[in-house]
């Protein structure tokens, strides 16, 4: 059985955790000590990632668990336009996850940390029958530059980055047994009869569910250039996250269904009842940015920023209603049917 100390040593070795820059005291003391940069504001968020709620050991490769735990939390910084700096890792693990699984978990988390520019500043480890991971991520933003949920105004156009519904499609396929990972380091996918060349195709369709990419560069660009009046990341699903944004801003919205950039569902699996529009509207965990821009500046908004496509999908309205308009101009209410952990679904 591993001691807590040995686990912490492995964490320190695998994850970027060097003292320097603003970090005066890192892991190994009672708390981390940081010196904020002059004239900056700090942006902080905390996020739980729990076995059997957010992931399953038999379905998710350890690398994806480590990567995604950090990516989810960091996406909240992207949604504020902040630049990631440090993170704190709280780890509760069953003894079965302290061996090889743990090395692979750290591998995935290390990839995320380096990719996002994060340094581990502190943490906590304990034993628990189920894996329970909590991330606290700390970022910086110039004073007054953070983009809030509450700044959307009637007439603003609604934009979204990337493609919606991809992560949900991956999750649905995974739940249907389309990807079952071996315990080995190669993360092999079992062959499934549905597809002619299943392995390659599945890897592609599962990628966004396993390895979402927080839109950090886009978020920072929007904040720095003061292009967005309000912003949120699509963690719960467009219908729910747009409702959050509208509520915080005290406005309504009209979304043009045919404009929504939605997941491509391969023909051979359409028969599974996977509707691209539904996946795009209510599917969670894409971690794209949903933001609003003044109509007069919308024209000057590039279609692609830092490699990420941006699509105008609707407009902010007076009142409180959120409506979905189809290609023929018919509107209906768009209910918030994304992810709510305390609401029973399906």
| Nearer CB in complex with its own copies: 76/168 | 76
> Cα 127 vs. chain centroid, distance in angstroms?
27
Instruction: Supply the minimum distance, in Å, between the C-beta of residue 90 and its own copies.
Output: 5
| Nearer CB in complex with its own copies: 32/167 | 32
- How far lies 259's CA from each of 31, 37, 66, 123, 265, in Å? 48, 41, 34, 43, 17
| Nearer CB in complex with its own copies: 5/299 | 5
The pair phi, psi for residue 124, each rounded to 5°, is: -160, 135
Instruction: Supply the minimum distance, in Å, between the C-beta of residue 52 and its own copies.
Output: 7
Instruction: Find where tokens 């998710």 sit.
Output: 60
**Do 180 and 187 contact (CB within 8 A), yes or no?**
no
**Do 146 and 31 contact (CB within 8 A), yes or no?**
no
Radius of gyration of the chain (CA): 21
**Do 54 and 196 contact (CB within 8 A), yes or no?**
no
| Nearer CB in complex with its own copies: 135/255 | 135
Residues in the chain: 346
Instruction: Supply the minimum distance, in Å, between the C-beta of residue 262 and its own copies.
Output: 23
Instruction: Find where tokens 């320190």 sit.
Output: 12
**Do 339 and 284 contact (CB within 8 A), yes or no?**
yes
CA dist., res. 66 & res. 333, Å (int) = 38
DSSP 7: H
| Nearer CB in complex with its own copies: 90/187 | 90
Instruction: Supply the minimum distance, in Å, between the C-beta of residue 160 and its own copies.
Output: 15
| Nearer CB in complex with its own copies: 90/311 | 90
> Cα 108 vs. chain centroid, distance in angstroms?
15
């Amino acid at each position: 059985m591993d001691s807590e100390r040995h686990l912490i040593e492995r964490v320190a070795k695998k994850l970027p955790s060097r003292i320097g820059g603003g970090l005066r005291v890192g892991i190994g003391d009672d708390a981390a000590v940081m010196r904020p940069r002059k004239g900056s504001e700090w942006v902080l968020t905390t996020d739980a990632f729990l076995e059997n709620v957010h992931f399953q050991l038999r379905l998710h490769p350890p690398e994806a668990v480590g990567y995604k735990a950090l990516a989810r939390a960091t996406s909240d910084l992207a949604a504020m336009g902040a630049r990631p700096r440090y993170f704190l890792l709280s780890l509760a693990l069953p003894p079965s996850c302290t061996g090889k699984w743990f090395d692979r978990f750290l591998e995935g988390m290390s990839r995320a940390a380096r990719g996002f520019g994060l340094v581990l500043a502190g943490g906590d480890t304990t034993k628990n029958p189920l894996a329970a991971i909590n991330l606290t991520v700390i970022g910086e933003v110039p004073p007054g530059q953070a983009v809030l949920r509450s700044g959307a105004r009637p007439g603003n156009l609604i934009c979204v980055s990337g493609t919606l519904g991809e992560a949900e499609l991956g999750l649905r396929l995974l739940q249907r047994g389309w990807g079952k990972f071996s315990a080995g380091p190669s993360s092999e996918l079992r062959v499934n009869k549905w597809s002619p060349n299943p392995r390659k195709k599945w890897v592609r369709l599962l990628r966004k569910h396993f390895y979402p990419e927080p839109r950090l560069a886009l978020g920072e660009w929007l904040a720095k250039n003061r292009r967005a009046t309000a912003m949120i990341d699509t963690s719960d699903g467009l219908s729910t996250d747009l409702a959050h944004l509208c509520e915080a801003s005290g406005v309504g919205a009209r979304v043009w269904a045919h404009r929504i950039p939605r997941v491509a569902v391969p023909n051979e699996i359409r028969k599974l009842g996977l509707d691209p529009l539904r996946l795009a509207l209510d599917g969670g965990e894409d971690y794209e940015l949903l933001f609003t821009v003044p109509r007069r500046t919308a024209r000057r908004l590039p279609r692609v920023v830092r490699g990420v496509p941006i699509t105008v999908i609707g407009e902010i309205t007076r009142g409180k209603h959120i409506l979905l308009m189809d290609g023929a101009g018919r509107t209906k209410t768009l209910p918030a049917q994304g992810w709510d952990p305390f609401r029973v679904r399906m």
